[in-house]
Amino acid sequence: MRNDLLTRLAERTAAREHDQLTRRLRTIDRVEGPWVWVGNKRLLSFCSNDYLGLSQHPDVVAQLRRANSAGSGSAHLICGHRAEHAALEQVLAEWTGRERALLFSSGYMANLGTLQALLRDGDLCVQDKLNHACLLDGASLSGATLARYVHADVASASRQLATAGDVPALLATDGVFSMDGDIAPLSELATLCEAQNATLMVDDAHGLGVLGKDGAGSVEAAGLGQQQVPVLMATLGKALGCYGAFVAGSASLIDGLLQTARPYIYTTATPPALAAATLTAVQVARRESWRRERLGSLIARFRAGAAQLGLSLLPSMTAIQPLLLGEAATALEAARVLEAEGFMVTAIRPPTVPRGKARLRITLSAAHADEHVDRLLEALARFASRPPHPSPLPRQSQGRGG
Ligand SMILES: *Cc1c(COP(=O)(O)O)cnc(C)c1O
C-alpha cells in the first residue's frame, strides 16, 4: 500500500510541533525605521538584516516610485535585461574589484546556480559546517561530493581537501556566518586554496555594505582580490535593503554562469526599478560611511553592556549578535518575554542551528538609537535573572518566532 504524501508531511509537522520547532509566520503591518507593527502592537525590531537602514532611505525608495513598469517581462536572456540591470552589474563589479558581475533573482538561486554550473559528479565541494542552507543545497544539486569541515577550522578544511586526491575542488564559505555573526578566516582559506589548487567561493550576504573601508564586504576587509577569491557572491536584500543577489568574478566565470546556471537562465529578471533602487543603495552605502561607523558603535555598546550583565554572547564583531540559550524552549520563552516587553527578536532553533544551540539572533542596525540598545539590554537582563521556568512550557508559548 502506497503511503500518502500529505499524511506523511502532516506527521512531520506534528513531530516538529512536539519538539517545539514549529515555525510561525508573523505578519508585519507596517515598518518605520527600527519599529514594526504587528496588528496594532508596536515592537522595536532586533531581527532584520537591514543593517544600514537603507530599505527606507528616501533616495532608494524614490527609484521605485519613478518606475514606469513593474515587472521586467521575461528572463534576462529573452528580453528582461534592462539598462538598470546592466548599470547595477557594472557598479557591483567596480565596487567589489571584479571584472564582471551577474545579477541573480535571489541569493538562494545565485548559490544553486553557481555551484551547479561549476561542479559536476565526482568533484569535491568542501564547505564550512555552518554555511547557509543554500550553499549546502547547491552542492547536493550539483552532484559533487559534499565534505563539511569544522566551523572556521582551516586545518579541518585542509584535511577534507587532501582526502580527495586530484579531483576538481571548490571550497565554499560564508564571509560572515548568518546565525553566528563571526567572520570566516578568509586569508588562511585563500592560502589553503591556492596551495591545494582549489577554487574559493565566498558568500558575503552579511558582509557586503557592512565590512571593508568602502563597504565592499569581508573580502575587501581581508584585502583579497579576484585572484584569491575567484567566486564572490553577495545578496542585495540585507545591508543594501533591497532584493536580489549577484556573483562577481572574471569575465570568463560570468560568461560561463550566464551560459549554464539554470536558476539564472530559467527565471524572470527582477523588476528594473528594483535594480535602479539597488544601484542607489550601493551609492548611499559607499558615500554615507557614517552608517558603518554608527553600526560599529552600536555593536560595541551592545557587547559592552552584555558583558557587564554577564550575558553569553558569541564572539561576533558584526551586526549579528546571537545570545546562545541552548534549548529551543528557552529561546522561544525568551522571544515571548521580549515581545511582551515590546521587542521583536526571533528565536532561532534547529534545524537552522545545531541541536542544543537555539538562540536569540539579535541584529543591530544603523537605524537603532543608543537608547534602543540600552532598553534591549535591560530587558535581556530581566530575562536572564528570572526565576527558573517550570518545564514543560505551556502549550500556547509554542511555535513563536522563526
Ligand atoms: C540570506 C542568505 C542567502 C540567501 O539570499 P536571498 O537573497 O535571501 O535568497 C544566501 N546566503 C547567505 C549566507 C544568506 O544569509
Asked if residues 79 and 221 have their Cβ atoms less than 8 Å apart, the reply is: no
Residue 354 shares a structural domain with residue 271: no
Q: Are strands 358-363 and 346-348 parallel, antiparallel or unpaired?
A: antiparallel
pLDDT at 394 over 70: no
Q: How far is CA 103 from CA 20, 52, 224, 248, 250, in A?
A: 38, 21, 21, 9, 14
20 in a domain, yes or no? no
Give the pTM.
0.94
Residue 295 shares a structural domain with residue 279: no
Weakest mean pLDDT among 88-97, 318-327, 381-390: 381-390
Torsions phi, psi for 292 (to 5 deg): -65, -40
Distance 236 CA to ligand 1 centre (A): 9
154 in a domain, yes or no? yes
Q: What is the DSSP letter of 75?
A: B
Residue 205 CB less than 6 A away from ligand 1? yes
Residue 134 CB less than 6 A away from ligand 1? yes
Q: In what order do the strands lie in the sheet with 145-149?
A: 100-104, 245-249, 231-235, 199-203, 169-174, 124-128, 145-149
> Which residues are tagged catalytic?
178, 206, 238
26 in a domain, yes or no? no
Residues 6+ away with beta carbon under 8 Å from 362: 46, 47, 302, 320, 321, 322, 323, 345, 376
Residue 235 CB less than 6 A away from ligand 1? yes
Tell me the percentage of the chain whose pLDDT exceeds 90.
Answer: 88
118 in a domain, yes or no? yes
Distance 378 CA to ligand 1 centre (A): 31
Dihedral sign for Cα 143, 146, 152, 154, please.
negative
Residue 351 shares a structural domain with residue 222: no
Residue 185 shares a structural domain with residue 73: yes
**In this predicted structure, what is the pLDDT of residue 92?**
98
pLDDT at 339 over 70: yes
The number of beta carbons lying within 10 Å of the beta carbon of residue 247 is: 27
What is the C-alpha to C-alpha distance for residues 277 and 67, in angstroms, rounded to an integer? Answer: 10
212 in a domain, yes or no? yes
Residues 6+ away with beta carbon under 8 Å from 198: 126, 161, 169, 170, 171, 192
pLDDT at 266 over 60: yes
Q: Which of 259, 287, 315 is the last residue of a domain?
A: 287
144-185, pLDDT tens digit by residue? 999 999 999 999 999 999 988 889 999 999 999 999 999 999
What is the C-alpha to C-alpha distance for residues 105 and 36, in angstroms, rounded to an integer? Answer: 26
Could you tell me the CATH number of the domain that includes residue 171? 3.40.640.10
Could you tell me the CATH number of the domain that includes residue 316? 3.90.1150.10
Q: Which of 287, 302, 330 is the last residue of a domain?
A: 287
Residue 245 CB less than 6 A away from ligand 1? yes
Q: Which of 232, 262, 287 is the last residue of a domain?
A: 287
**In this predicted structure, what is the pLDDT of residue 1?**
79
* Nearest partner of 347 among 357, 335, 362, judged by Cα: 335
pLDDT at 396 over 90: no
What is the C-alpha to C-alpha distance for residues 354 and 130, in angstroms, rounded to an integer? Answer: 9
What does the pLDDT average to over 300-319?
Answer: 94
Higher pLDDT, residue 191 or 349: 191
Residue 173 CB less than 6 A away from ligand 1? no
Residues 6+ away with beta carbon under 8 Å from 230: 199, 200, 201, 249, 250, 253
Which residues make beta-bridge pairs with 247?
102, 233
Residues 6+ away with beta carbon under 8 Å from 146: 125, 127, 136, 139, 140
Distance 107 CA to ligand 1 centre (A): 5
What is the C-alpha to C-alpha distance for residues 368 and 285, in angstroms, rounded to an integer? Answer: 17
182-207, pLDDT tens digit by residue? 999 999 999 999 999 999 999 999 99
Residue 77 shares a structural domain with residue 199: yes
Residue 260 shares a structural domain with residue 336: no
117-151, pLDDT tens digit by residue? 999 999 999 999 999 999 999 999 999 999 999 99
Cell of 376: 534591549
Domain residue limits at 311:
289-362+373-391
Residue 235 shares a structural domain with residue 384: no
Q: What is the mean pLDDT of the chain?
A: 94
**In this predicted structure, what is the pLDDT of residue 397?**
40
pLDDT at 41 over 90: yes
* Nearest partner of 185 among 155, 145, 230, judged by Cα: 155
Asked if residues 344 and 46 have their Cβ atoms less than 8 Å apart, the reply is: yes
Asked if residues 183 and 218 have their Cβ atoms less than 8 Å apart, the reply is: yes
**In this predicted structure, what is the pLDDT of residue 393?**
46
Residue owning the nearest CA to atom 4 of ligand 1 = 107
Please choose from 49, 134, 180, 270 the residue to mutate so as to test ligand 1's pocket, defined by most ligand atoms within 8 A of CB.
134
Residue 93 shares a structural domain with residue 177: yes
What is the C-alpha to C-alpha distance for residues 131 and 12, in angstroms, rounded to an integer? Answer: 25
64 in a domain, yes or no? yes
Higher pLDDT, residue 399 or 53: 53
Band (pLDDT 50/70/90 cuts) for residue 389 is: low
pLDDT at 402 over 60: no
45-64, pLDDT tens digit by residue? 999 999 999 999 999 999 99
Residue 88 shares a structural domain with residue 210: yes
* Nearest partner of 270 among 62, 81, 66, judged by Cα: 81
pLDDT at 38 over 60: yes
> Could you please report the per-residue DSSP string of 256-313?
HHHHH-HHHHTSBPPPHHHHHHHHHHHHHHHH-THHHHHHHHHHHHHHHHHHHHT--B
> Could you please report the per-residue DSSP string of 216-268?
--HHHHTT--TTT--EEEEESSSTTSS--EEEEE-HHHHHHHHHH-HHHHTSB
53 in a domain, yes or no? no
199-231, pLDDT tens digit by residue? 999 999 999 999 999 999 999 999 999 999 999
Q: Are strands 358-363 and 320-326 parallel, antiparallel or unpaired?
A: antiparallel
Residue 200 shares a structural domain with residue 315: no
State how far Cα 3 lies from the chain centre: 37
Residue owning the nearest CA to atom 5 of ligand 1 = 107
12 in a domain, yes or no? no
First to last CA, the chain: 36
Band (pLDDT 50/70/90 cuts) for residue 73 is: very high
Residue 132 CB less than 6 A away from ligand 1? yes
pLDDT at 401 over 50: no
Residue 383 shares a structural domain with residue 240: no
Cell of 352: 537552522
Residue 172 shares a structural domain with residue 235: yes
Band (pLDDT 50/70/90 cuts) for residue 391 is: very low
The count of structural domains within the chain is: 2
**In this predicted structure, what is the pLDDT of residue 390?**
53
